[in-house]
Amino acid sequence: MNQVLEIERCDLNIKNNNSSHHTDLNGEERLIVRRGEPFNIILHLKPGSKEFKLDESSFTFIVETGPLPRKESDTQVSFNLCNSTVDTEWSASAINNPSENTLCVYINSSPNSPIGVYSLSLDQEGQKTHLGQFTLLFNAWCPRDAVYMHNERKRKEYVLSQHGQIYKGTYKRIKGTPWNFGQFESGILDICLKILDENPKFVSDADKDCSARRNPIYVTRVLSAMINSNDDRGVLVGEWYDFSGGVHPGAWIGSGDILHKWAESGPVRYGQCWVFAALACTVSRALGIPCRVVTNFRSAHDTDANLVIENLYNDNAEKISSDSIWNFHVWVDSWMTRPDLGPEYDGWQTSDPTPQEPSDGVFCCGPASLRAIKEGELTKKYDTPFIFAEVNADVVDMLHLSNGEVIRFSGSTKSVGCFISTKAVGSDERHDITHQYKYPEGSKEERQVYEKAQHHNKLQQRGEEPGLHLKIKLADNMILGSDFEVYTVLTNNHMEVRTCNFLFFANAVSYSGKRGESCGFASDKVEVLPGEERRLSLKLKYDSYGSVITSDRLIQLSAFAFDKQTIDYSKTEKTIVLDEPDIDIKLMGDATVNQPVTANLTLLNPLPEQLQDCSFTIEGVGLTDGKPITVKTGAVGPKEEAKASVEFSPSSSGSTVLLVNFDSNKLSNIKSFVNVVVKEGETN
């Protein structure tokens, strides 16, 4: 008969295991390991127990995950003790230490195991002992894992880094916004696992869903649907117009606050694309999937799936079509293999949790292989045609005349998908990754890919290039709160005189390209000789634009010129982003663990009017205990400084980032950050 060892207790060796599995930033309260890599536990035997001998033992370990563990679903696995572990499947080996009456057991998980919370038990001749729980994550350090990333610097950036930069603005004025991902902060991992358990696929078939969690493709698609709340009790409610009853999307500076609010009370109000993407990045990194946040400037939203953005105007220069081009749009790329597509499609995969268009009846998007997007392989799942159009659609401008005739008067093959950006590895610099998504604009390869993608919808070019040309010229300083002048130049490249109606509009616009109210208009009727230029100026006054612009601080300028006699038209647009004030951040003294330190914050009000309800909010990993700290400063007069002193006590040493946000009734979502090095406290 095989021996049955009497076990007094099991030491999960949390500190050492978490350190070797790159999960030590989660703390030491629980065992968190990455799949495909061994961890060890120490079994303390009761006094007087027999000495352990492998050939006389009957050790069967059982690991289980999910509410309905089953061997057929690989959510329940049994494996015996062997001479050594095997790196391709669940296995265990042991080293006996008779002097300490302990047995050190090494357990290796399968690199294809479902992720989640597992229970670990030991069966000896039918006598079962519960040894404890552990959480299993994807493993970018394991070559056999589907998310393996061979470069250590990239693993540190895309799995372990808790802060980043999200790029916003316009393609000509790109601005990095700091964000606290905070995937290792207290409670966040549990919330990320709760997101998986709240998804409708789990609710309808928990066994099938838990089994599918072995696959990062499946998990990423679930997250794409669950980060928004359109079809479920997902994390974030999207809103682009009315923000009453919630938090303005621009006010968030980190993911932790949103995730905690969701866990406590359900869908959180409100988010826009960069918030959806930041949350997806936090959850992906927390679960072990390498992830980066990506911004696409001049991002097309193709509503009819013909790979063409059709801007249709009436003869009053009013747009009457539904296709649009967003000033910028933010999504995420996740790193994984694509066995469903073939090895050539491995690597970065795009997914987008912002609810734009349904996919298989659900508001989600991706993951789509970057290789498939770049090569125009639109039959490759998931949602490749939609993302291809976002970065590579052609644009056609058409006029719908009062007699019913539709005339194409301009267009572009190069205006969509500009300066696709993500944070550089190991620094706060912007890294341009446009070349990963598309061939150079206008190149032979780019046109070949587009024509292949078009299939039978290829745009038929017709007509000659118009002979009227427009350009918009900007002022040097366009500071929020100031008045400034812009102008447009009309050039007649015909050999004949043109008599033109000349219109120049200024409208508030959201980052998604939706026009708001007018903040300026000028018009003229001009006779333009061959080769001649005519200029039309427009004064943009704060009194006009201040009350209508959104917190994106964007103004869209549109110029039109048309000669109705010769049916000759020209149009140009330019979106400007107004300069915002800086926040001055000064730390008063060194930052030391468990010692209070004060940050002095200053912002100059650039507006010619008083700011009400002013406040500064700070947040930082290891600095503010996972929660934002807000200090209200009341009213600040025009051209006066808003000031605040905020005290916080760092909880851990090392390099981190302090994020700051300023908010008020007239000036909001002003962000800045400072790098902080926290010193160890003195020990007695």
Q: Which residues are catalytic?
A: 273, 329, 352
Count CB atoms within 10 A of the CB of residue 443: 11
The amino acid at 224: S
Tokens linked to 162: 């808790």
The closest of 332, 251, 252 to 285, measured between CA atoms, is 332
Tokens linked to 88: 């391709």
The closest of 122, 144, 141 to 41, measured between CA atoms, is 122
Count CB atoms within 10 A of the CB of residue 239: 16
What does each C-alpha distance from 147 to 212, 223, 239, 331 come to in angstroms?
A: 15, 16, 33, 19
Beta 76-82 vs 91-97: how paired, if at all? parallel
In this structure, what are the phi and psi dihedrals at residue 72, rounded to the nearest 5 degrees? -65, -25
Q: Is 170 helix (H, G, I), strand (E, B) or coil?
A: strand
Count CB atoms within 10 A of the CB of residue 98: 11
**DSSP class of residue 362?**
B
The closest of 277, 61, 305 to 179, measured between CA atoms, is 277
Beta 127-137 vs 32-34: how paired, if at all? parallel
What does each C-alpha distance from 43 to 81, 95, 101, 102, 404 come to in angstroms?
A: 14, 10, 9, 6, 83
7 close to 43: Cβ distance less than 8 angstroms = yes
CA atoms within 13 A on the CB side of 587: 21
Angle at which helices 273-287 and 188-198 cross, to 10° = 100
Tell me whether residue 392 is annotated as binding: yes
101 close to 51: Cβ distance less than 8 angstroms = no
Alpha-carbon torsion angle 284, 286, 287, 290, nearest 10: 50
What does each C-alpha distance from 39 to 13, 16, 92, 110, 479 come to in angstroms?
A: 9, 9, 10, 12, 57
Tokens linked to 486: 């812009």
Tell me whether residue 441 is annotated as binding: yes
Distance CA 238, CA 417 (A): 23
Tokens linked to 172: 């000509």
H/E element holding 445? Answer: helix 444-454
C-alpha 45: how far from chain center? 49
Q: Is 562 left (phi over 0), alpha (psi -120 to 50) or beta?
A: beta
221 close to 364: Cβ distance less than 8 angstroms = yes
The closest of 20, 35, 170 to 91, measured between CA atoms, is 35
Tell me whether residue 394 is annotated as binding: yes
Count CB atoms within 10 A of the CB of residue 334: 27
H/E element holding 206? Answer: helix 206-212
Distance CA 626, CA 253 (A): 12
The closest of 326, 110, 359 to 220, measured between CA atoms, is 359
Tokens linked to 82: 């062997």
What does each C-alpha distance from 138 to 113, 116, 201, 335 come to in angstroms?
A: 9, 10, 20, 11
109 close to 125: Cβ distance less than 8 angstroms = no
Instruction: Please give the annotated binding residues for Ca(2+), written as ranges.
Output: 392, 394, 441, 446
